[in-house]
């Protein structure tokens, strides 16, 4: 076989290997919601906002309860929340709120945030069906 034929075969094999490797990589690495008790809202009253992270792909709301325990609540993406009336300025540290959430199945302190009611009575809702 000529040198040209060997180079052509190597090029074909290399191209096929690169293509196979690219197809093996996940196209979208998004996690499941199976970690939450989906559809079973739990209420928390009078918690203090510690931090509000307006980040992609999910927002996070960190609060402290009356016993000083820290809780973390995952939320929808900023893109989704802005259509529901939320913003990166929705909360300030030290603010008191009530919220509902879908608890984590493993009993850690946190879950998926569903609604927030502010001291002035205004309500922020993450999921359209949670009204």
pTM over 0.75: no
Structure confidence at residue 77 (pLDDT): 94
Q: What is the pLDDT of residue 101?
A: 96
Cβ contact 96:46 at 8 Å: yes
pLDDT at 86: 95
Q: Is 54 helix (H, G, I), strand (E, B) or coil?
A: coil
pLDDT of residue 130: 55
For the chain, which domains are there?
A: 36-130 (2.40.50.1010)
Is residue 48 within 8 A of residue 94, CB to CB? The reply is yes
Q: Identify the sign of the CA torsion 39, 44, 45, 51.
A: negative
Burial class, 23, CB count within 10 angstroms (exposed 0-12 / middle 13-18 / buried 19+): exposed
Q: Per-residue confidence at 35, pLDDT binned at 50, 70, 90?
A: confident
């Amino acid at each position: 076989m000529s040198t040209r034929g060997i180079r052509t075969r190597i090029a074909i094999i290399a191209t096929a290997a690169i293509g196979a490797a690219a197809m093996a990589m996940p196209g979208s690495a998004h996690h499941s919601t199976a970690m939450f008790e989906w559809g079973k809202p739990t209420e928390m009253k009078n918690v203090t906002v510690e931090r509000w992270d307006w980040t992609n792909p999910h927002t996070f709301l960190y609060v402290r309860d009356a016993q000083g325990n820290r809780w973390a609540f995952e939320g929808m993406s900023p893109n989704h929340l802005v259509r529901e009336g939320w913003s990166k300025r929705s909360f300030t540290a030290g603010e008191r709120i009530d919220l509902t959430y879908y608890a984590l199945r493993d009993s850690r302190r946190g879950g998926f945030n569903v609604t927030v009611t502010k001291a002035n009575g205004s309500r922020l809702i993450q999921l359209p069906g949670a009204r």
